Structure 1
Amino acid sequence: MTRAPAAPRTSRRRHDREIITLAVPAFGALVAEPLFVMVDSAIVGHLGTPQLAGLGVAAALLMTAVSVFVFLAYATTAAVARRVGAGDLSAAIRQGMDGIWLALLLGVAVVAVTMPTAPWLVDIFGTSDTAAPYAITYLRISSLGIPAMLIVMAATGVLRGLQNTRTPLYVAIGGFTANAALNAGLVYGLGLGIAGSAWGTVIAQCGMAAAYLVVVVRGARRHGASLRPDAVGIRASAQAGVPLLVRTLSLRAVLMIATAVAARMGDTDIAAHQIILALWSLMAFALDAIAIAGQAIIGRYLGADDAEGARDACRRMVQWGIVSGIVLGALIVVARPLFIPLFTADPAVQDTLLPALLVVALSQPVAGVVFVLDGVLMGAGDGPYLAGAMLATLVVFAPVALLVPTLGGGLTALWWAMALMMTVRMATLWLRTRSGRWIVTGATR
C-alpha cells in the first residue's frame, strides 16, 4: 500500500525535469531580448535628449511590428513538437523550414511598407520636430533587420519544438554582447551617432539569424529534410498562425487601452502605470518561460499519441504556474521598498503606484495559471479557441477599463480591471482544458 504513490511521484519528477530543462534557458533567452533596446537607449542617451526621444519612438514602432508576428515562434513550436513526438524528425524540420520561409516573406513585406512610410509613422506618434529626424533615421535603418528578427522568431520555434531551448539562450547572449560592442564602436568610435546604433543592432540581428540557420540547416541535412520553399507548407504555416495573430492583437489592444486610460488620468498616474507595466512585463517573462516549456512538452506528447501524458503534464505545469505566481507576488511585496525608489523619487508617483502594485502582486497566481494554460493550448495547436477566448476577454475588459475615469478609483481601479481581465482569461482557458477538446493526438492536428 505504501508503494502505490510511487508512479505518480515518478511522473511528477519526470515532468519537473522536463519543465526545468526547457523553462530555465527559455527564461534567459526571453530576458535577453529587451536588453537590446536597453543597450541602445543607454548608448544613444548620451548623444542628447532629441536622439533618445527619437529612439524611443522608433523602438516602440519596431517592437510593435515584430511582436505582432510572435505567432511565428508559437505556431512553429507546436507543429514541430508534434512531429518530434511522432518520431519523424525529418518532417519536423521540414515543418520548421516552412515557418522560416514564411518569416522571411513577412519580413521583406514589412520592410517594403516601413521604409517609405517612416516619416508618416513617426508623425502619427506626435514626435517633436527636433526628435523626428532621428526617429526616421533609426526606424529606416533598423527596419532592415526585421526579416532577420522574424527568422530568429521562427527558428527559435523550431528549436523549442525540437526540445532545445539552450541554443536560443546561447544565441541571445551572443547577440546581446555583439549588439553592445557594435553600438559602442559605431556610435562613438566611428562617430555615426544614432545611425550607428541602428546599424549595430541590424548587424547583431543578422548574425543571430545566421547562427540559427546554421543550426537548422545542419539538422535538415542530418535528417534528410528539404530546405527549399514549399508553397503548400508556407501557406499552411500562415493559416495556422492567423488565430494566434488575432490573439496577439487582442492582447495588445488590452494593453493599449489600459495605457490610454492611465494617460487620461494625468501625468502622475501614467508615470506610475508605466512603472507597474514594466514590472508586470518582467514577471511575464518568468511565467512565459513555463508556457514555452508547455508548448514543447504538450506538442510532443500529443504527437506521440500519449493523451494521458499530455493531461499529466498539463496538471503539473498548472501547479508550477500557481507556485511561481505566489513566489513572484511575494517578491513584489517584499522588494517594493528597494525597487520603487529606483524608478521614481516623486512622492506623488510612489503613493499612486503602491496600492496598484499590491493588486498586481495579488493577481500573480492567476497570471501563472493563465500563462501555463495559454502555453498548453498553443502546444496543442488550439489556436482558434485562443483567438476567440482573447476576443471575448477584450470585450469584457474594454468597457470596464474605459469606465474607470468616470467611476473613480484611479490607477488602482484600472489595475483591478487588469486583474479582472486575467481572471476572465483564466476562466476561459480552464474551461477549455477541463473539456478535453484540446487533446487531439497525431503528427498533425
Structure 2
Amino acid sequence: MTEGTPWKVILRFSIPVLMGNLFQQLYNLADAMIIGRLVGVYPLAGVGAAAAMSFLVLGFATGLTGGFSVVTAQRAGQGDPEKIEESAAASMVLCAVTAVLLTVLSVATAVPLLRFMNTPKEIFPYARTYIRITYLGLGAVLYYNLMAGLLRALGDSRTPLYFLIISSVLNVVLDVIMIRGFHGGVGGAALATVISQLVSAVACHLYAVKRYPVLRPEKRYLKVECREAFAHLRIGVPMALQFSVTAVGIMILQAYLNEYGALVVAGYTAAGKVENLVTQPFNALAMAMEVYCGQNMGAGKRERIRCGIRQCIALGTVCVILSSTVNVCLGRPFIGLFMETCDPKIVEYGYVYLVIIAVFFWLLCTMQIMRSSLQGIGEAAVPMAGGILELFSRWAGCAAFSGISGYAGVYLSTPLAWGMALLLLTIRYRWLAGRGFFDDRQQGRT
C-alpha cells in the first residue's frame, strides 16, 4: 500500500475487508434472527443484554491483535522478512498467553457483571448461558483475529474474507441444528458461533503458513525477548484497552436501558444488529487505514499518510450517506426480521435508536478513520485516551439525558461519546501535522 493513488489502494484493500465484516455480521444476525424466531423475544433480549459484556472481552482481543498487526505492517513496509517473522512469533506467543488469562478472568466475572448491569430477571438466565459459552470460546476469536490481522498486515485482505464466508455459512447451519435439532436454545447458538470461528481460524492458519513462509516462524523466534514483547504490547495493550473502555461505556448504557424493561432491551438489541451491519463500511475503511498508515510509516512516506487520511474521509462521507439512508428508510422492516410476530412497540423502541444515530454517523465514521490512522503510525496513548473520554461522555449523557427524554435520552449518549472522542483525536492529528510529522523532509527530526 506504499504505491499508487491513496484512495484507490485504500478502497481496493477495504472491499474484501468489508465483505468479510459483512459476512461476520450476517452470522451474528443469523444468531439473533434464529433465536428471536425459534426461541422467543426474551431469549433475544438476553443475548442483547450480554452483548456489551461480550464486546468488553472480545473487543480487548480484537484491539490486542490489531495492535500486534500494526507492528507487523510497519515491518512489512520496511521489507525485512526476518523482522516480520519475529513479529509473527511474538504475536502468536503473546496471544496464547492472553487467551488463557482472559478466559479464566472473564468466566469468573460473568455473573457478577450481569447483576451489576441490573439485567431483568426474566432474561437473566438466557444472558448468563450465552455469555459463559461465548467467554469459553474466547481463544477461537483471538486465534482467528491473529491470523487475519497478520495476513492483512502483509497486504492480503482477501484470504480472511474467504474463510469468513465458510465460517458464516457453517454458523447458520449449526445454529439451526443446535436450536431446532438439539433444542439447545441460546446456549446452542453461542456454541455454534464458537465452533464456526474455530474452524475459520484453523483453516486461515493452515493457508497462511503455506502461502507466506514469514508467518511460519522458526522455533528460535518463539522464545520472545523482552524487547520484542514490549514493542508489540506498547501498541497492542492500549488498543485493547481502548476497545474495552468503549465496551464499558456500552455496558453503562445497557444498564440504563435495562431499567426500562425487556421490550426496550429487545428493541435496542435488534436495532444494534442493524447498526452493526450498516456501519461495516466505516470499520473496513478504518481497518484499511491501520495497514495503510503502518506500511507507509515503515517505508518513510509520511506525506502519503496525510493524503491518504484526507481521501479516506471523503470515501467515508459517501458511506455515511448510504448507511444513514438505510437506517431511516429500512430500519423498521429490518427490526421486524428478528421477531416471529412483529410487536409494534419493540419495533418503535429500536427504530428511534436507528434514526438518532443515523444523524450522527459522520461523527462515528470520521472518528474510526482518525483513530485507526493514528494507531497505524504507532500512536497508542491518545486513541486510548479517546476511548476513556468516550466512556465518561456516554456515562454523563445517560445520566443527563435519561431524566429528560427517557430511553431516547439514553440513546443520545452514543453520538455524544463519538463527538468527544473525535474532538480529542482531531486535536492530536492537527498537533502532529503542525509540527511537520507528516512531512517526509522532517521525519528524521520527529
* Contact residue 302 and residue 439 of structure 1 kept, 8 A: no
**What's 2:17 paired with?**
26
1:147-185 Cα distance to aligned partner (Å, 9 max, x none): 222121122211111111111111111122233444555
**What's 1:250 paired with?**
245
**What's 2:5 paired with?**
14
Correspondence list, 1:61-140, <5 A: 62-113=54-105, 132=125
Correspondence list, 1:140-159, <5 A: 143-159=135-151
Q: 1:131 to 1:146 in 2, by over 3 A?
A: same
**What's 2:389 paired with?**
392
- CA drift of 1:285 comes to 1.8
- CA drift of 1:413 comes to 3.3
**Alpha-carbon distance between aligned partners in 1 of 2:53 and 2:413, rounded to the nearest angstrom:** 26
Give the residue type in structure 1 aligned to 2:243: T
Give the residue type in structure 2 aligned to 1:262: L
1:33-78 Cα distance to aligned partner (Å, 9 max, x none): 3444444556667885698788777777555432222112320231
Secondary structure in structure 1 of the residue aligned to 2:378: coil
Correspondence list, 1:324-403, <5 A: 324-336=319-331, 338-339=333-334, 341-342=336-337, 345-350=342-347, 354=351, 356-403=353-400
- CA drift of 1:25 comes to 1.1
- CA drift of 1:124 comes to 6.8
- CA drift of 1:245 comes to 2.5
**What's 1:284 paired with?**
279
Q: 1:312 to 1:198 in 2, by over 3 A?
A: closer
Q: 1:185 to 1:334 in 2, by over 3 A?
A: closer
Moved more, 421-430 or 158-167: 421-430
Q: 1:417 to 1:91 in 2, by over 3 A?
A: same
Moved more, 191-200 or 310-319: 191-200
1:416 counterpart = 2:412: yes
**Alpha-carbon distance between aligned partners in 2 of 1:299 and 1:210, rounded to the nearest angstrom:** 26
1:186-237 Cα distance to aligned partner (Å, 9 max, x none): 6666788877666554443332222232234335636884352414233432
Q: 1:48 to 1:225 in 2, by over 3 A?
A: closer
Give the residue type in structure 1 aligned to 2:382: Y
* Contact residue 269 and residue 349 of structure 1 kept, 8 A: yes
- CA drift of 1:400 comes to 2.9
1:300 counterpart = 2:295: yes
Q: 1:175 to 1:427 in 2, by over 3 A?
A: same
* Contact residue 120 and residue 258 of structure 2 kept, 8 A: no
Q: 1:332 to 1:58 in 2, by over 3 A?
A: closer
1:230-264 Cα distance to aligned partner (Å, 9 max, x none): 14233432332221123112211222222233333
How many matched pairs?
Answer: 431
Secondary structure in structure 1 of the residue aligned to 2:360: helix
Give the residue type in structure 2 aligned to 1:391: I
Secondary structure in structure 1 of the residue aligned to 2:279: helix
1:314 counterpart = 2:309: yes
**Alpha-carbon distance between aligned partners in 2 of 1:32 and 1:194, rounded to the nearest angstrom:** 21
**What's 1:433 paired with?**
429
**What's 1:240 paired with?**
235
- CA drift of 1:23 comes to 1.0
* Contact residue 246 and residue 387 of structure 1 kept, 8 A: yes
Corresponding residue to 1:205 among 177, 197, 222: 197
**Alpha-carbon distance between aligned partners in 2 of 1:43 and 1:337, rounded to the nearest angstrom:** 18
1:393-417 Cα distance to aligned partner (Å, 9 max, x none): 33334223212232x1234433333
* Contact residue 77 and residue 299 of structure 2 kept, 8 A: yes
- TM-score, normalised via structure 2 length: 0.81
Secondary structure in structure 2 of the residue aligned to 1:33: helix
* Contact residue 178 and residue 204 of structure 1 kept, 8 A: yes
- CA drift of 1:390 comes to 2.3
Q: 1:340 to 1:140 in 2, by over 3 A?
A: closer
Moved more, 110-119 or 324-333: 110-119
1:230 counterpart = 2:224: yes
**What's 1:6 paired with?**
none
**Alpha-carbon distance between aligned partners in 2 of 1:439 and 1:357, rounded to the nearest angstrom:** 37
**Alpha-carbon distance between aligned partners in 2 of 1:201 and 1:411, rounded to the nearest angstrom:** 31
**Alpha-carbon distance between aligned partners in 1 of 2:215 and 2:346, rounded to the nearest angstrom:** 57
**Alpha-carbon distance between aligned partners in 1 of 2:353 and 2:320, rounded to the nearest angstrom:** 17
Q: 1:262 to 1:63 in 2, by over 3 A?
A: closer
- TM-score, normalised via structure 1 length: 0.81
Moved more, 270-279 or 75-84: 270-279
* Contact residue 390 and residue 420 of structure 2 kept, 8 A: yes
* Contact residue 325 and residue 365 of structure 1 kept, 8 A: yes
Which runs of 5 or more structure 2 residues have no equivalent in the other structure? Answer: none
Secondary structure in structure 2 of the residue aligned to 1:436: helix
**Alpha-carbon distance between aligned partners in 2 of 1:111 and 1:397, rounded to the nearest angstrom:** 27
* Contact residue 69 and residue 153 of structure 2 kept, 8 A: yes
**Alpha-carbon distance between aligned partners in 1 of 2:408 and 2:95, rounded to the nearest angstrom:** 40
Q: Once the two structures are aligned, what percentage of the paired residues are identical?
A: 23
Give the residue type in structure 1 aligned to 2:389: A
